[in-house]
């Protein structure tokens, strides 16, 4: 992880926000060109949007070797690794959107890419923010963009329903987060402008109950975002109704942003960490159990992916609990953050690989897609069934996929932290997940029956799907070999 405790500069470093600036400016330019150019130029604008996202990867890549710390008037951490992650999610979502828009020519396209870019920029600022005001503003900007994306299919009742439900839940989570920030301000321990509020955690937890209550509300708002117990109830409905590219973005990008904030907060608490470890452990165990065991009887594909996302939020919280337990060992905490990024990257490859296949059915509305629709997929499209099998195996934690190594590393860190009972819960949950993932795999290799939704083929996304499956197989083996020295 980038060192967040380095000396803090006092001047603006505009290059540290170059990625976010590029995203917002590109979105503005694309909207202007959409107005000025004829309608037939829209496809070219969409291609430009994807190319621009790819070119923006150069900004965080150039910052990976720079001196770490805080930047931009002490309001942001330098986290180029997460910026790369966010851009990768935006690129995969954009590629998936091309196929989605081909099903309905009437859907607005250029605007979708513009909203996606603004959402990605806000997500990056949220994950990197030190300043309290900036944290809340970027969170709300990101969430509002997601409301819009969830309702993109205006003529689809499930999409509109998902957006309304998301709006209600998002409003509650935002209110909780804002209440927590207000209580932290009320404790008088952070100015929020010239001061990192993370540096006050040790003082606040020792001297102010008001600060502690504020911290509880902030964590509650973040638990909403990652879909952890007891705030996981919104995910199946929203994932099911949203357009498939948006469901994939919600499943990966927004979860990762909130997870980064949770980890940084856990790393900043050097006192009373035992209470935080206990709280995170209980939440992790409940989230793993609810996500995995509820999914055992689920047949709707997008709801199943939502429940899978809930269980993975539990695994993330296991790692967060281990991070909090290493309060006096910053080196171990750095390893935990590195494992978090590895885990999220592995989860990104597998989840997007699966959603690309889900998006390849003929119907625009995938909300009613179920297991039986995949019968005979291995004969219709061997490439789709093979990549689906690999990515589902990764989510299940089957070697030698990246998902297996990700879960193994989480278990190792939890074991080092002495969270033995939580390791047992995680193993039980992973074993349960094998059942429902392999039911899906078995169905894809079963004989085709009548009445299923038509599989339209991978089309132009075939190379992307195959590449994601290949990376899922090789990424874990390659990265895992470089980590033993870190322990």
Q: How many residues does the chain have?
A: 487
Q: State the burial class of residue 32 (Cβ atoms within 10 Å of its Cβ: 0-12, 13-18, 19+).
A: exposed
Give the C-alpha distances (Å, rounded to integers) separating 26 from 116, 215, 296, 303, 437. 11, 36, 44, 34, 39
Measured distance CA(236)–CA(346) in Å, rounded: 22
Q: Is 6 inside a domain boundary?
A: no
Measured distance CA(76)–CA(143) in Å, rounded: 19
Q: Is 452 inside a domain boundary?
A: yes
Take residue 278 and report the two structure tokens written for it.
């206990």
Q: Is 1 inside a domain boundary?
A: no
Largest Cα separation within the chain, whole Å, is 67
What pLDDT score does 203 carry? Answer: 53
Give the C-alpha distances (Å, rounded to integers) separating 349 from 93, 194, 268, 429. 12, 38, 30, 21
How many independent structural domains does the chain possess? Answer: 1
- Which DSSP category does 190 fall into? -
What pLDDT score does 192 carry? Answer: 42
Measured distance CA(101)–CA(129) in Å, rounded: 34
What pLDDT score does 195 carry? Answer: 37
- In order along its 487 residues, the chain shows pLDDT tens digits of 444 444 444 455 677 788 888 899 999 999 898 888 877 777 888 888 889 999 988 877 776 655 455 566 667 777 888 889 999 999 999 988 888 887 766 666 788 899 999 999 999 999 888 877 788 889 999 999 998 888 888 777 778 888 888 888 888 888 888 888 888 777 765 444 333 455 555 555 555 777 778 888 888 888 988 888 888 888 888 888 888 899 999 999 988 998 998 888 888 776 556 778 888 899 999 999 999 999 888 888 889 999 999 999 999 999 998 888 887 777 888 888 888 989 999 999 999 999 998 888 867 677 788 888 888 788 888 888 889 899 999 998 888 888 888 899 899 999 988 888 999 999 999 899 999 899 898 888 877 665 566 776 777 778 888 888 888 888 766 665 555 544 4
By residue range, what is the domain housing residue 478?
14-486
Q: Is 436 inside a domain boundary?
A: yes
Q: Is 23 inside a domain boundary?
A: yes
Residues with Cβ < 8 Å from 230, sequence gap 6 or more? Answer: 223, 286
Give strand pairing partners of 70.
77
Q: What is the dihedral of CA 296, 150, 347, 264, to 10 degrees?
A: -110
Q: Is 3 inside a domain boundary?
A: no
Give strand pairing partners of 129.
76
Give me the residue label for tokens 């209550």. Answer: 213
From the CB of residue 201, how many other CB atoms can be counted at a distance below 10 Å?
Answer: 25
What pLDDT score does 128 carry? Answer: 86
For 287-315, give one letter per residue: b (16+ CB within 10 A) or e. Answer: bbbbbbbbbeebebbbbbbbbbbbbbbbb
- Which DSSP category does 198 fall into? G
Torsion sign over Cα 322, 259, 472, 485: negative
Q: Is 2 inside a domain boundary?
A: no
Q: Give the angle 310-316-320 at the CA atoms, nearest 5°.
A: 140
What pLDDT score does 347 carry? Answer: 92
User: Do 277 and 325 touch, CB atoms closer than 8 A?
Assistant: yes
Closest CA to 286 of 261, 310, 266, 265: 310
Q: What is the enclosing helix (H) or strand (E) of 27?
A: helix 18-36
Q: Is 4 inside a domain boundary?
A: no
Phi, psi of 361 (to 5 degrees): -85, 160
Measured distance CA(480)–CA(487) in Å, rounded: 12
């Amino acid at each position: 992880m980038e060192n967040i405790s380095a000396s803090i500069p006092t001047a603006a470093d505009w290059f540290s926000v170059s990625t976010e600036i590029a995203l917002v400016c590109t979105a503005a330019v694309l909207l202007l060109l959409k107005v000025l150019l004829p309608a037939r130029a829209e496809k070219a604008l969409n291609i430009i949007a994807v190319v621009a996202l790819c070119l923006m990867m150069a900004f965080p890549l150039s910052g990976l070797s720079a001196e770490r710390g805080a930047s931009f008037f002490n309001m942001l951490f330098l986290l180029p690794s997460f910026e790369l992650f966010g851009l990768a999610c935006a690129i995969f979502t954009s590629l998936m959107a091309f196929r989605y828009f081909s099903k309905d020519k009437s859907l607005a396209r250029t605007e979708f890419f513009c909203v996606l870019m603004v959402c990605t920029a806000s997500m990056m600022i949220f994950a990197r923010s030190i300043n309290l005001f900036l944290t809340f503003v970027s969170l709300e900007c990101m969430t509002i963009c997601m409301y819009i994306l969830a309702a993109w299919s205006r003529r689809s009742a499930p999409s509109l329903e998902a957006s309304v439900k998301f709006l209600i839940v998002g409003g509650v989570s935002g209110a909780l987060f804002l209440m927590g920030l207000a209580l932290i301000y009320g404790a008088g321990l952070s100015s929020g402008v010239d001061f990192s509020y993370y540096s006050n955690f040790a003082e606040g937890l020792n001297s102010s109950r008001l600060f502690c209550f504020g911290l509880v509300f902030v964590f509650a708002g973040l638990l909403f975002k990652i879909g952890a117990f007891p705030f996981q109830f919104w995910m199946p409905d929203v994932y099911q109704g949203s357009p498939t590219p948006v469901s994939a973005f919600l499943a990966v990008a927004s979860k990762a942003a909130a997870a980064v904030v949770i980890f940084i907060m856990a790393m900043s608490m050097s006192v009373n960490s035992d209470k935080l470890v206990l709280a995170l452990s209980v939440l992790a165990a409940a989230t793993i159990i609810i996500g995995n065991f509820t999914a055992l009887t689920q047949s709707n594909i997008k709801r199943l992916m939502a429940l899978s996302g809930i269980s993975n939020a539990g695994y993330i919280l296991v790692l967060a609990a281990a991070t909090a337990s290493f309060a006096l060992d910053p080196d171990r905490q750095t390893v935990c953050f590195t494992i978090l990024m590895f885990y999220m990257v592995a989860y990104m490859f597998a989840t997007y690989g699966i959603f690309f296949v889900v998006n390849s059915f003929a119907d625009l509305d995938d909300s009613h897609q179920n297991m039986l629709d995949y019968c005979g997929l291995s004969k219709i499209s061997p490439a789709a069934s093979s990549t689906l099998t690999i990515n589902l195996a990764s989510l299940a934690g089957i070697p030698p996929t990246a998902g297996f190594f990700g879960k193994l590393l989480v278990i190792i860190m939890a074991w080092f932290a002495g969270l033995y009972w939580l390791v047992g819960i995680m193993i039980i949950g992973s074993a349960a997940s094998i059942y429902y993932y392999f039911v899906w795999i078995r169905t894809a290799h079963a004989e085709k029956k009548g009445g299923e939704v038509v599989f339209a083929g991978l089309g132009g996304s075939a190379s992307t799907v195959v590449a994601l499956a290949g990376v899922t197989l090789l990424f874990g083996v390659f990265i895992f070999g470089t980590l033993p020295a870190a322990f």
